[in-house]
Amino acid sequence: MALRVMVVDDALFMRNMLKDIFVNAGFEVVAEADNGEMALGLYQETRPDLVTMDIVMPKKSGIEALQEIMASDPDACVVMVSALGQDSLVLEAVEAGAKDFIVKPFKQDNVLEIVRRITG
């Protein structure tokens, strides 16, 4: 069984890039969402092994979505995706239970390293 991943980002470009990285690594991308609210619904539906979550998104921010996911599933494995210079948001997300974070621009190896570390 391959690792099941959900990709959350409001930019199609970022979603596609992350999807390619995961698919190439043999993971299965089971869901993608372009805002926090959609992410919440899809999370309950698909229960992925891993979520990559953009921080700044319309409707519901990545941090709010993270908080709600963690409340419903304390074992959730969420990795935040942030831009450079969003240190305080990243800090907030880590406090809220994010397992790790990726800072844009990122490299494929970097993403996989982080994912493999937290999914053990």
Partner 1 sequence: MDMSQYRGLFLSETREHINNLNQLVVTLEQKPGNRETIDALFREAHSIKGMAATMGFDRTAQLSHHLEDLLDGFRDSGEVPSSTVDYLLAGIDLLDGLLDDLQSNQSERSIDVFLAETPHGKPTQIAETPVDNQGECSLAAAIEEEPEASTVVVEANVFQVLVDLAEDTPAAAARGILILRELEKSGVLMSSKPDLSTLRSGAPCQQIHAWLRTSLNWMHIEEALLRISGVVKVRFIDDRRKQEGGDRDEGTHTIRVRTDLLDQFVNLTGELITNRYLLNTATTGRDWDQLTQTLSQTSRLIEDLYHHVLQARLMPLENITGRLPRIVRDLSRKTGKKVTLHLTGGEVGIDRAILEEVTAPLVHLVRNAVDHGIEKEGTVAVSALREKDLVLIEVADNGKGMDPEPLRQKAVDRGLLTSLQATALSDRDALMLVCQPGFSTAEEITEISGRGVGMDVVKAAVSKLGGTLEIISSPGQGSRFQMRLPLSIAIIKILLVSCAGQPLAMPISRVQRTLDLPTSEIRNSGQKRVFRLGEEVVKLYSLAEALGLPEVVAGETTWVVLIEIQGRRVGLQVDRFLGQREAFVKCLGFPLNLLTGLSGATVEGNGQVVFIIDPQSLIEDGQLFTNDCPGEFDALS
Order the strands of the 50-54 sheet from edge to edge. 28-33, 4-8, 50-54, 78-83, 100-104
State in angstroms the smallest separation of the CB of 22 from partner 1: 13
Taking CB under 8 A as the criterion, the residue among 19, 25, 103, 108 binding partner 1 is 103
**Is residue 86 near partner 1 by the rule CB under 8 A?**
yes
**8 is a site residue for partner 1 (CB under 8 A):** no
| 79 in Cβ contact with 98 (< 8 Å) | yes
Selected range binding partner 1 among 7-15, 38-46, 66-74, 77-85, rule: CB under 8 A: 77-85
